[in-house]
């Protein structure tokens, strides 16, 4: 791709102020020079990246229900978690799947990777599919509490209508699964 | 839904520290009491919410290419923007569609709403479909620079493979469009 075309409205950094360094995210405010020569500020959240798995067993998907403090409610989501420093995304996906559901797999297929909110965050989420699963043991992080269940596509679509499922990665996974059932390929 | 079931791992707020109040987002760190009685901290980004539109005209979708400072690169995305205070999401979707593409519509259909990153942010994105479009005038925000084009489903899927499209809302919209073409309904 031609950089001069694809980045033609590039915003160059004039200065960058670090606001916060946390356990999961950091925040900075950049002053940028716009294509018209004016300046503007950009509020930017830095995130280490995340992984998630559409894990299918006997025509059901594995989901976990957990409390999401930013939303002040519980949500049903596919197994997911953030990358550890230097961790390979596919290894992270296997690790999170096993930690949260007890299921192990050696055959993960990369489905897609997407930025969750490119207007203010650099978080990228790598989404995988696993179809050959082996039951093992659940072992959660010490501050992690969740329940695992397996649901059909129809149940997943019902959960979306009820807003029990309402996050980007799980809705994307449910669409991918539906397309797979309709076309035979992801 | 039974709240005592759906929120059984509720994390109650012990204290909340405001870190930053910006133009687009704010950041707080909450100390919470976990279900096991221990405490933990949660880093939470507050966002006003956003809207996006899968706008279809003559079997093509409208997309805009713009520079995304958090990613330090340009991305091709469906028209989108954040909610103004008190603004109705559907009105915001019409406004953003017209501002960014010049196309107007009175017939938007709600497709789904999802949290972009429920682990650290409360941002919710409301996704709409528009099929009856009328050409008007583009009028961008003063710090907004972008190009609009219309692409076929096959081009959109190619853009995803090339990572020119790689954000949650646009990938969700492309899946929804593919399902629509396969099944006749969204």
Secondary structure tally for chain A: helices H, strands E: 4, 12
CB pairs < 8 Å spanning A and B: 209
Query: Does the structure show a pLDDT above 70 at B164?
Result: yes
The residue assigned the tokens 């870190």 is B19
Please choose, from the candidates A53, A43, A62, A34, the residue with its C-alpha nearest in 3D space to the C-alpha of residue B123: A43
Partner residue opposite B19 with nearest CB, options A8, A19, A121: A19
Residue from B120, B124, B174 whose CB has the most chain A CBs within 10 Å, to mutate: B120
The arithmetic mean of pLDDT across residues B146-168, rounded, is: 96
Residue B8 has pLDDT above 90, yes or no: no
Q: A113, A127 in Cβ contact below 8 A?
A: yes
Q: Is the pLDDT of residue B5 over 50?
A: yes
> Which of B128, B31, B126, B121 has the alpha carbon at shortest distance from B70?
B121
Reported as half-sphere exposure (CB side, CA atoms, 13 A), residue B154 has a value of: 0
pLDDT at A128: 98
**Which chain A residues are Cβ-neighbours of B70 within 8 angstroms?**
42, 44-45, 115, 118-122
B69, A113: Cβ pair inside 8 Å? no
Number of Cβ atoms within 10 Å of the Cβ of A120 = 24
Tell me the torsion sign for CA atoms B108, B111, B112, B116. negative
If you write DSSP's letter for every residue of B118-185 in order, what string do you get? Answer: TTTB--EEEEEEE---EE------TT--EEEEEE-HHHHHHHHHTTSS-BHHHHHHHHHHHHHHHHS-
Give the residue, B133 or A8, on which the prediction is more confident: B133
Query: Which residue in the list B38, B58, B72, B142 is annotated as catalytic?
Result: B142
Residue entry with tokens 């539109």? B53
> How high is the ipTM of this complex?
0.95
Q: Is B178 in Cβ contact with A176 (below 8 Å)?
A: no
Q: How many Å lie between the alpha carbon of B86 and the closest alpha carbon of chain A?
A: 19
C-alpha span between B136 and B99 (Å, rounded): 9
Mean predicted confidence (pLDDT) in B65-90: 97
Predicted pLDDT of residue A100: 95
A68-123 pLDDT, tens digit per residue, is 999 999 999 999 999 999 999 999 999 999 999 999 999 999 999 999 999 999 99
Mean pLDDT, range B102-124, rounded to an integer: 97
Average pLDDT, chain B: 94
B120 CA: distance to closest CA in chain A (Å): 6
Amino acid A140: pLDDT? 87
* Cα-trace Rg, chain A: 19
Whole-model pTM over 0.90: yes
Q: How confident is the model at residue A3 (pLDDT cuts 50, 70, 90)?
A: very low
Instruction: Please indicate whether residue B149 is annotated as part of the active site.
Output: no
CA atoms within 13 A on the CB side of A114: 29
Q: B139 falls in which pLDDT band (50, 70, 90)?
A: confident
Q: What is the pLDDT of residue A143?
A: 86
Q: Is the distance from CB of B50 to CB of B80 less than 8 angstroms?
A: yes
Q: Which two tokens stand for residue B23?
A: 């133009």
Burial class (CB within 10 angstroms; exposed 0-12, middle 13-18, buried 19+) of A95: middle
d(CA A114, CA A128): 12
Q: For each of the domains in chain B, give its residue range(s) and CATH number, in order of start.
A: 12-46 (no CATH), 50-183 (3.90.79.10)
8 Å CB contact of A115 and B172: no
Write down the pLDDT at residue A2.
Answer: 44
Instruction: Please say if the pLDDT value at position A6 is more than 80.
Output: no
Q: What pLDDT, on a 0 to 100 scale, did the predictor assign at position A82?
A: 97
DSSP, collapsed to helix, strand or coil, labels residue A1 as coil
Q: Point out the residue among B29, B34, B73 whose CB comes nearest to the CB of A145.
A: B34
């Amino acid at each position: 791709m031609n950089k001069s075309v694809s980045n033609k409205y590039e915003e160059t950094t004039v200065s960058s102020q670090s606001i916060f360094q946390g356990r999961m995210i950091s925040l900075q405010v950049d002053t940028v020079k716009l294509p018209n020569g004016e300046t503007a500020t950009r509020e930017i959240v830095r995130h280490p990246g995340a992984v998630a798995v559409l894990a299918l067993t006997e025509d059901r998907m594995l989901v976990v229900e957990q409390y999401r403090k930013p939303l002040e409610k519980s949500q049903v989501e596919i197994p997911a978690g953030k990358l550890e420093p230097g961790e390979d995304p596919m290894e992270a996906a296997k690790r999170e799947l096993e930690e949260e559901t007890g299921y192990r797999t050696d055959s993960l297929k990369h489905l897609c990777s997407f930025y969750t909110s490119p207007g203010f965050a650099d978080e990228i989420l790598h989404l995988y599919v696993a179809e050959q699963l082996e039951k093992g043991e659940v072992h959660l992080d010490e501050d992690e509490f969740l329940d695992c269940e397996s649901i059909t596509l129809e149940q997943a679509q019902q959960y979306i209508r009820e807003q029990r499922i309402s996050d980007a990665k799980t809705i994307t996974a449910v669409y991918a699964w539906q397309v797979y059932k309709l076309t035979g390929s992801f």
